[in-house]
Amino acid sequence: MSILKNIKGDRGIWGVFLLLAIISFLPMYSASSNLANVIGIGSTSGYLFKHALILLLGFVVLYLMHRIPYRYFSGSSALLLPFVFLLLVYTLSRGTTIGGATASRWIQIPFVGVSFQTSTFASVILMIYVARYFSKRKDTLIDFKESFWSLWTPVGLIVLTILPANFSTAALLFLSVIVLSMLGGYPLKYIGNILGIALVALTLFIFVGRSFSSGLRAKTDTWKNRIVNFQDTNPVDDYQVEKAKIAIATGGMFGLGAGKSVQKNFLPQSSSDFIFAIIVEEYGLVGGMVIILLYMWLLFRMYVVAKKATTVFATLLVIGVGFPIIFQAIINMAVASNLIPVTGQTLPLLSSGGTSIWMTCIAIGVVLSVSATKLDIDIQEKIDDENPLDVLYEAVD
């Protein structure tokens, strides 16, 4: 097939992507029985078909992204950032709620009936923009005033428009920007200033929100309750976490078997936020370790791509869009294991949800674009310096 001939980039990353996509079908089919049989919405076969279609479209997106030379992402991020901000504002004012969410996180795409979560798209664009900012200033002394307007003002606007609807996504995005800034050479004394400003801004946001908006008051109460329940040794309002802990404890070493989860019938978010608990219940500690090792291998391969990148922008780009995938996976599994408070973050490529899977595919496609460009350069250098037949032999081998 011609499409297979045009697949480039790091084969390890391709392998992890395909393995996670294939593995996702059994847990998804099993966990969706909660919605189909308990709540009475849809059918398990319908959810399985929808998941397959989402993954297929995700593969198409990933393929198209990895064929684009990564240098084009730099200018595109600067052009898309104002559009992304307006999209987030529209989502806050006119968006819809799904799955019992207490705030607007989605917009409906006209004529196709598909919901789109704008915050995940905004996160990818913003991280590319931050990588662009530091790559353009790699040889210059960064001025705090200039960086405040050129870097932190766009970051602040995006994070603040995500915050009312999705605190965990906003926090993860902000921390990812901080980490990328430190790696990009941003002075630590300025990092301290930014963290102080962010803390003041968050305090004012909570105070003003609770004073003038009942919706924001409800959201801040939710944040507070999650932290209180996590700290309480006998929580009275932590239903999902307790069921997730039972699922993990029941799984043992090898699990109950595919499709035999009991707690999926009691976990409202069994196919999304808490799918890791269902995986461990059905496939045991061994199954859970396989998932963890796959994400760790993905992290290692992305590290290799970042280390071998030929430009500062390429390195920061891989770190900026690739590493948050691993952070998100760790957060999701930590929530299911009751190591941190509930956040609402999905498990990349394994949880249900169109937008989260597509944005993960975009991020992986960008990483593969960097690795494919590096591979093309290496091959061209060998062609220039060596016998072409030797290069062909090495490629086949």
Question: Which SS3 state, helix, strand or coil, does residue 103 take?
Answer: coil
In our burial notation (b when 16+ CB lie closer than 10 A, e otherwise), range 349-375 reads: bbbbbbbbbbbbbbbbbbbbbbbbbbb
Give the containing element (helix H, strand E) for 108: strand 106-109
- From the list 17, 23, 27, the residue with the least C-alpha distance to 58 is 17
CA dist list (Å): 6 to 20, 39, 63, 145, 216: 22, 44, 9, 45, 49
Position 304 scores a pLDDT of 95
**pLDDT (0 to 100) of residue 338:** 85
Return the residue matching tokens 């071998």.
308
pLDDT of residue 224: 67
Q: What is the dihedral of CA 126, 54, 169, 288, to 10 degrees?
A: -120
Q: Which two tokens stand for residue 227?
A: 């932290």
**Which residues are within 8 A (CB) of 287 and not within 5 positions of it... i.e. 6 or more apart?**
251, 255, 279, 280
CB 23 within 8 A of CB 279: no
What is the per-residue burial (b if ≥16 Cβ within 10 Å, else e) of 145-157?
eebeeebbebbbb
Burial class (CB in 10 A: 0-12, 13-18, 19+), 282: buried
pLDDT recorded at residue 391? 37
Please tell me the predicted confidence (pLDDT) of residue 142: 87
The three-class DSSP label of residue 116 is: strand
Residue 101, token pair as written in the block: 């969410």
Phi/psi of residue 337, nearest 5 degrees: -90, 5
Q: What is the pLDDT along the chain (397 residues), one digit of tens a residue?
A: 556 677 888 999 999 999 999 999 999 888 887 777 666 577 788 888 989 999 999 999 999 999 999 999 999 999 999 999 999 988 887 655 555 444 456 676 655 456 678 889 999 999 999 999 999 988 788 889 999 999 999 999 999 999 888 888 899 999 999 999 999 999 998 999 999 999 998 888 888 766 666 666 666 666 666 676 666 655 555 778 888 889 999 988 998 998 888 888 888 778 888 899 999 999 999 999 999 999 999 999 999 999 999 899 999 999 999 999 999 999 999 988 888 888 878 899 998 877 889 999 999 999 999 998 865 555 444 434 444 444 333 443 3
8 A C-beta contact, residue 75 and residue 64:
no
pLDDT at 396: 35
Q: Where are the alpha helices (DSSP H) in the chain?
A: 2-5, 11-23, 25-31, 33, 44-66, 72-94, 118-136, 144-147, 153-162, 167-183, 188-212, 214-231, 239-251, 275-308, 312-336, 354-385, 388-396
The answer to whether 114 and 93 are in contact (CB under 8 A) is no
- How far is the first Cα of the chain from the last one, in angstroms, to the nearest whole number? 20
The per-residue pLDDT for 380 is 44
Q: Give the pLDDT confidence score for residue 223 in this predicted structure.
A: 66
Note the pLDDT of residue 375: 56
Asked if residues 368 and 10 have their Cβ atoms less than 8 Å apart, the reply is: yes
Contact 283, 258 (CB under 8 A): yes
Distance CA(313)–CA(279), nearest Å, equals 37
Report the SS3 class of residue 240: helix
Neighbours of 138 (CB within 10 A): 13
